[in-house]
Structure 1
Amino acid sequence: MIWHLIAAIFAGLGAAGIAMVLRMASGKRLPTWIIPVFGAMGMLGYQISVEYSWYEHKQQLLPESAQVVEVEHDAMFWRPWTYFFPMATAFSVIDEQSMAIQKQNGERRVEFLLYYFEKQVQDRVTTQTWLMNCTNREMLPLEADTRRPLLEHSRRLNEDAPIFQAVCQDA
């Protein structure tokens, strides 16, 4: 976080320096207020660039066995440009190496970890173990310690749901 602040300050100083050169090149015909405006635009441009590249940056850090199954885009009123170009604020990932496949009574069941990455002041990652019945497309979470199914949170997925496709693709 401190490095982003330092980078934003240097982006502002660089843009203000460009404004100073432009002002000098124009024989000081450009107004002096152009310097802080360029500085602010440089800082804002850097921050917008970092925020919009967050998803791609995090995606590059994932192992090859990880598959993104859902991306959440959001608009925020304090960032009015996000209403026109929504920003990725969270995404879910399934790691194929974490899958445990079981066949019981002619049904294929897959236990897997679902990682949820959230863009906040400090990025947050949460994990949840799930059990998917590929035959009837039911998915339910498992308790962390006992691995007991939490039946009250069961849900049925559509055949075209990205999570179902990623977990049961060769079922």
Structure 2
Amino acid sequence: MIWHLIAAVFAGLGAAGVGLLLRLVSGKRLPRWIVPVCAGLGMLAYQINHEYSWFDHKQTQLPDSARVVDVEKGQAFWRPWTYAFPMTTAFSVVDQDDLITGQADGQRLVQYRRYRFRKEYVDQVTHQAYLMNCTSRETVPLAGEPPRPRTEATQTFTETDPLFQVVCQQE
């Protein structure tokens, strides 16, 4: 967090330098307020760039076996540009190396863990274990120790759903 503040300050200083240079090149015909305006625009541009590149940056930190299965985009009234260009606020991944496959009553079952990353002032990561019935395309969260299915939270997926494809349609 402190590094982003420092980076924003330096982006502002660099943009203020550009404003000062423009003022000097114009023979001081540009008004003096161009320097602080450029500084503010530089800090704002850095912050916008940082927020929109968060998803790509987090993806580079994931292992090669992790697959993104859900992306949430959102808007905020204090970021009016997000109404035109919604930014990624959360996403979910499944690590294909952690899949546990089994059979029960002739149906293919896969146990997996779903990780959810949420962008806040400090990034939040939560995880939940699930059991997917690949034959009926149903998934149920697992809770407790040993893990027991919570059948009241059963979800059904279509064959084109990214989560179903990642979990069930592997080799």
TM range (shorter): over 0.9
Q: Distance in 1 between matches of 2:25 and 2:97?
A: 60
Matched, 1:112 2:112: yes
Name 1:60's counterpart in structure 2.
60
- Deviation per CA, 1:95-142: give whole Å up to 9, x if none: 011110001111000000000000000000000000000010110000
Q: How far does the alpha carbon of each residue in 1:1-42 deviate from its partner, in whole angstroms, 9 at most, with x for none? A: 000000000000110011111111111110001011000000
Matches within 5 A, 1:97-136: 97-136=97-136
Deviation (angstroms), 1:144: 4.2
1:85 aligns with 85
Measured in 2, the distance between the counterparts of 1:19 and 1:8 equals 16
Matched, 1:46 2:22: no
Q: TM-score, normalised by structure 2?
A: 0.97
Which one-letter code corresponds to 1:63 in the other structure? P
Q: How large is the RMSD of aligned CA atoms in angstroms?
A: 1.0
Runs of 4+ residues over 2 Å off in structure 1: none
**In the TM superposition, what whole-angstrom CA distance separates every residue of 1:124-168 from its partner, at most 9, and x where no partner exists?**
000000000001011000004330111111111111111111111
**Contact 1:15–1:38 (Cα < 8 Å) also in 2:** yes
Aligned to 2:142: 142
Give the count of matched residue pairs: 171
Unaligned 5+ runs, structure 2: none
Give % identity. 55
TM-score by length of 1: 0.97
Unpaired runs of 5+ residues, structure 1, are none
The residue type equivalent to 1:90 in the other structure is: A
